[in-house]
Amino acid sequence: MLKKVEILSVGTELLMGQIANTNAQFISRRLPEVGLGVFYHSVVGDNPERLTECLHYALSRSDVVITTGGLGPTQDDLTKEVIAKALDLDMILDTKSAQLIKQYFERMGKTMSENNLRQAYFPYGCKILDNDEGTAPGCMIEKDGKVIILLPGPPRELIPMFNKHVIPFFREKCEAPLTSKFLRVVGIGESMVEKKLMSLVDSQTNPTIATYAKDGIVTIRVTAHDEGEIPSSLLVSDMCGKISSILGDSVYTDNDEELEYTVFKLLAENKLTFSCAESCTGGMLAEKITSIPGSSQVFKCAAVTYMTASKTEMLGVDAAVIDKFGVVSKEVALEMVQGMINKSGTDVAVSITGYAGPGFADEPVGKVCIGVCTPDCRTVKEFKFSGNRDRIRTLSVINALDMVRRALLHLDLPD
Amino acid sequence: MLKKVEILSVGTELLMGQIANTNAQFISRRLPEVGLGVFYHSVVGDNPERLTECLHYALSRSDVVITTGGLGPTQDDLTKEVIAKALDLDMILDTKSAQLIKQYFERMGKTMSENNLRQAYFPYGCKILDNDEGTAPGCMIEKDGKVIILLPGPPRELIPMFNKHVIPFFREKCEAPLTSKFLRVVGIGESMVEKKLMSLVDSQTNPTIATYAKDGIVTIRVTAHDEGEIPSSLLVSDMCGKISSILGDSVYTDNDEELEYTVFKLLAENKLTFSCAESCTGGMLAEKITSIPGSSQVFKCAAVTYMTASKTEMLGVDAAVIDKFGVVSKEVALEMVQGMINKSGTDVAVSITGYAGPGFADEPVGKVCIGVCTPDCRTVKEFKFSGNRDRIRTLSVINALDMVRRALLHLDLPD
């Protein structure tokens, strides 16, 4: 039975520190869904001898070896040839792949070089994995009870190929089919989530529960296999229900989606337009929302009123209110959000004003006030965040999005 | 002589995909400065047997092994103990470290546990590396001609320790002292940079030249060692001069700094205020500028006019111009930037309007128009970018910053 996985990444650019190994991270995060554990990552340069050595070593200690990188058309790209040789397999031309590569170049209006055709040769007997996003197909070799999978290096090619071919392949291999679901939580820290779920986590082994935190969001993975007559999907949805009843409306999705996407969907479903008035976050909230394709459906505009005077000029904030309460205050946040509604005629607006630091002595770094206005409510809240400038800005944006979500769903604000 | 380095990262959180291995990236990028090459990265979980196996394997193929992680106070943190055992070294209490750890807890007003004192035990004969940012010191072992360095996992602890101890240690070991400089280039692709520098790169081995590209910026590292009487610093500055004369004003810094920081400094030196009018980039340019501490010195405000109507409402763009030339046109970019100047009274402004895709059939995805206005010039340029939504937005921001830089320095626009 397949159990231990090693990810073997090939590329001098990794050893030069030009890029971080995000492919290994992506694959590692996904494999537990199909019952596999990643035991080792290795990185080696574009060097035939060292790659051969690393492959043999990986096969000696792991059941599955997934390589990333080195499938392109240049002389440096040698993963497929080296691995075929190490496994004593001939390289065979695949006419269908050759055809696809030719068509790709025709479609792009580019000239194909002989090197590009190298990408249509594959180790004898392998399964070819189409590349919908580029010219380098991947492949999958089963030999002597081991599985070797070769994936391309660029994440925009690797990720769709992994989702389309690798996950279904292992899902079929699984003796006990697995189901996973990802809940996401906003407004509660990871240690508090762990504490609240401790009895659940300790009391059972199927489903398993794993948490991880990033940028103010905690993701909870729930994975189960079939248990006698009970299907894994039922075990997972039952456990997700238990977790949701403990964590309440801090769980914003059971579909592993970004918070801005949840907010975007809520706005779109309700046919509401959205705008924001930012200060310390400097456009970060607008940037997040507009990273979603189709956001023009709901997103109208943003005013980044960074200097104090611009709050008055662009949003009509009363200068006397700023003088009286200070530029980082609930009062100014409310004036900003109301100003945005008045100026833009948007349905929903949010405002952020705060000190992201590193600051002057008289500025309480981390103090952030956020205001939200919807057709049927108006709220404002003061936060005290800790961390560096980037973290304070990120937490401000996450909490602003959460306040919009709660306002749209008529939920109470978190403590 | 020390030459080959392996980075051995210890931590189940890496194998679970909770974090990317940015420590390996950081260390890899820095070691060439002291004449070392990274040949392998490995990652292993918090497991004594597998860590022992990985250490022995690393020592069999590398001269220097740098471990990251597993130095903390919890039961999972076992790197130091396992490596001492593998190298057959006793663990000895270091009274100075014990004292420092006690003081750290007193200063933080926290209670010290017995586990924390485990961090004051070290393999016999090692050099202890102080941790100024946490309680887990690192250490450095020289044995049988090999060097083994143990660093903590959190980057905010690892980076200062690496800079303070590891770089000076190897600089001293270097037979020929090395100097490095990093040039950065905007507006020319990596393959074109390589082509233009090919004769320089091929004709010599001291200095060495390495390039890498990310998000529209190419970084060129120039590293030299002393050559007889000629100091490395002179060799490096001479080579940087040659590169700059070939690449011209596309080289925006010889100090490895971000483009937004170069633009920020130019604005600050000239006491100019800055604002931006964004559309497809959705606030990404404003976000980048305001990521710089102290940006409030120059940055006034931004208008993110995402929906077409908001271009007229917020910036006074003539609706007839939009109708006639289309919302993504040089004419609209000019109206946007002029509108920003008029509305905000800022000294310098930039505007971006474009199609970031994925688009409707009639939208030429990647077409982006950028306008710049300074007290003494006004320019506009149309670009055609390729790639996905994120890449088109990123390239738009980079090129907008470069147009501002060129306008402030009275340089011509690139082709």
**Is the bond preceding residue B207 a cis peptide, omega within 30 degrees?**
yes
Residue A55 above 90 pLDDT?
A: yes
Mutate to test the interface with B, among A132, A295, A301 (most CBs of B within 10 A): A301
Q: What is the pTM of this model?
A: 0.84
pLDDT higher at A90 or B111? A90
For A320, counting Cβ atoms within 10 Å of its Cβ (0-12 exposed, 13-18 middle, 19+ buried), the class is exposed
Lookup result for tokens 């055809």: A99
Query: Chain B residues with CB inside 8 Å of A280's CB?
Result: 290
Q: Tens of pLDDT along A136-184?
A: 899 999 999 999 999 999 898 999 999 999 999 998 887 666 788 999 9
Contact present, A247 and A254 (Cβ < 8 Å): no
In sequence order, which residues have a C-beta less than 8 Å from that of residue B344 and are 6 or more positions away?
A310, A313, A314, B275, B300, B301
Whether residue A142 lies within 8 A of chain B, CB to CB, comes out as: no
Q: A361 pLDDT band (50/70/90 cuts)?
A: low
Query: Chain A residues with CB inside 8 Å of B300's CB?
Result: 306-307, 309-310
Smallest Cβ–Cβ distance between B21 and the set A20, A306, A310 belongs to: A20
List domains and CATH numbers for chain A: 4-173 (3.40.980.10), 178-253 (3.30.70.2860), 259-408 (3.90.950.20)
Tokens of B87: 């190298």
What pLDDT does A176 receive? 66
A308 → chain B, closest CA residue: B300
Tokens of B405: 């830089």
What 3-state DSSP class applies to B152?
Answer: coil
Lookup result for tokens 């930012």: A278
Q: Do residue A283 and residue B290 have CB atoms under 8 angstroms apart?
A: yes
Interface predicted TM-score (ipTM): 0.83
Tokens of A99: 């055809």
Instruction: Give the angle subtended at the CA of B31 by the CAs of B27 and B35, to the nearest 5°.
Output: 170
Lookup result for tokens 């970031």: B356
| Distance between B288 CA and the closest CA of chain A, angstroms | 8
Q: What is the DSSP letter of A184?
A: E
What pLDDT does A415 receive? 67
Q: What is the pLDDT along chain B (415 residues), one digit of tens a residue?
A: 888 999 999 998 899 888 899 999 999 989 988 889 899 999 999 899 999 999 999 999 999 999 999 998 777 789 999 999 999 999 999 999 899 888 878 877 777 777 788 889 999 999 999 988 777 899 999 999 999 999 999 898 999 999 999 999 998 887 666 788 999 999 988 778 888 998 888 877 889 888 877 888 998 989 888 888 999 999 999 999 999 999 999 999 999 899 999 999 999 999 999 999 999 999 999 999 999 999 999 999 999 999 999 999 999 999 999 999 999 999 999 999 999 999 999 999 999 999 998 876 678 999 999 999 999 999 999 999 988 899 899 999 999 999 999 999 999 887 6
In sequence order, which residues have a C-beta less than 8 Å from that of residue B149 and are 6 or more positions away?
B64, B65, B66, B67, B129, B138, B139, B140, B141, B166
Element (H, E) at B14: helix B12-15
Mutate to test the interface with B, among A4, A23, A43 (most CBs of B within 10 A): A43
Q: Do residue A314 and residue B306 have CB atoms under 8 angstroms apart?
A: no
What 3-state DSSP class applies to B231?
Answer: coil
Mean pLDDT score, A93-115? 83
Tokens of B19: 């974090």
Tokens of A53: 């050595």
Query: Chain B residues with CB inside 8 Å of A210's CB?
Result: 16
Whether residue A60 lies within 8 A of chain B, CB to CB, comes out as: no
Comparing A2-11, A97-106, A313-322, the range with the smallest average pLDDT is: A97-106
Mean pLDDT score, A264-280? 98
A-contacting residues in B 227-266 (Cβ below 8 Å): none
B-contacting residues in A 159-198 (Cβ below 8 Å): none
Q: Tens of pLDDT along A188-237?
A: 887 788 889 988 888 778 998 888 778 889 989 898 888 889 999 999 99
Helix residue ranges per DSSP H, B303-388? 308-315, 319-325, 330-344
Q: Do residue B358 and residue A293 have CB atoms under 8 angstroms apart?
A: yes
CA B48 to chain centre: 33
Q: Do residue A291 and residue B344 have CB atoms under 8 angstroms apart?
A: no
In sequence order, which residues have a C-beta less than 8 Å from that of residue A29 and are 6 or more positions away?
B16, B17, B18
Mean pLDDT score, A18-25? 94
pLDDT higher at A75 or B372? B372
Beta bridge partners of B4: B37
Beta bridge partners of B276: B302, B350
- d(CA B372, CA B333) in angstroms, rounded, equals 9
Write the DSSP assignment of B166-229 as a string of letters: IHHHHHHH-SS-EEEEEEEEESS-HHHHHHHHHHHHHH-SSSEEEEEEETTEEEEEEEEE-BTT
Element (H, E) at A36: none
Smallest Cβ–Cβ distance between B388 and the set A17, A40, A156 belongs to: A156
Whether residue A75 lies within 8 A of chain B, CB to CB, comes out as: no
Contact present, A2 and A170 (Cβ < 8 Å): yes
For B49, counting Cβ atoms within 10 Å of its Cβ (0-12 exposed, 13-18 middle, 19+ buried), the class is exposed
Q: Do residue B22 and residue A20 have CB atoms under 8 angstroms apart?
A: yes
- d(CA B273, CA A115) in angstroms, rounded, equals 51
- d(CA B353, CA B333) in angstroms, rounded, equals 6
What pLDDT does A160 receive? 94
A38 → chain B, closest CA residue: B15
Q: Do residue B306 and residue A291 have CB atoms under 8 angstroms apart?
A: no
Whether residue B210 lies within 8 A of chain A, CB to CB, comes out as: yes
Q: Do residue B41 and residue A38 have CB atoms under 8 angstroms apart?
A: no
What pLDDT does A170 receive? 94
Closest Cα to residue A17, out of B157, B32, B215, B395? B32
Query: Chain B residues with CB inside 8 Å of A390's CB?
Result: 291
Contact present, B223 and B207 (Cβ < 8 Å): yes
B4 → chain A, closest CA residue: A15
What 3-state DSSP class applies to B351?
Answer: strand
